[in-house]
Amino acid sequence: MLFSRISQREKYILYISIVVIGFVFIDKVILSPVMKVLDNLDKQTLIQEGELEKSVRILNNEDSITAEYNKNAQSLKKSSSNEEEIAALSSEIEELARKTSVLIKNIKPLSTEESSLYTKYKIDIEIETEMSYLMDFIYQLEKSPQLVKVDKISLSPQKKNSPVLKAFLVISKSLIP
């Protein structure tokens, strides 16, 4: 009944409209969600491939990594008592200070932190020097082949408008028990 009163041109427009609405419906309900799932799977696949390539590179270098670890682990092993290790660290710091023109005013050992993986020796020092010498001193400490690092630093001018700084540093050294 309804179709009998509609002209031929209006029927074509109605059919075309139904087909277009059907395509939009299929796109929004079926195709778009499927495409999103496929895109997510592609991204996850790329991530997994990258991790796999990284793992293969590490496995290919396993021998050289193990040799490097063994070489470094020997230098980081604790070979003497806590007091001897702290004395060795103190003498290393004093030697670096002489080489870098840093004046050590006070040096005192702090408590030793021991865990199942490492032992950390700490030393608190007070120094006076110019900024360039201080930076060189810290650089020399940090590039040491042993695990020596500056944990804390506090700077203040020695006198007003003076290039000389007073610095308080906490320096630590970590060793494998």
For residue 107, give both structure tokens: 């040096």
Mean pLDDT of 122-145: 91
pTM: 0.57
Highest mean pLDDT of the ranges 27-36, 85-94, 114-123, 137-146: 27-36
Task: Give Cα separations from 137 to 34, 73, 129 (angstroms).
Answer: 61, 25, 10
Domain locations along the chain? 3-60, 77-175
Q: CA-to-CA distance for 54 and 58, rounded, in angstroms?
A: 6
Going 66 to 68 to 69 to 71, the CA torsion angle's sign is positive
Task: Give Cα separations from 49 to 36, 57, 106 (angstroms).
Answer: 20, 12, 55
Topology of 77-175 in CATH? Alpha-Beta Plaits (3.30.70)
- List, for residues 78-95, the tens digit of each pLDDT value: 667 778 888 888 888 899
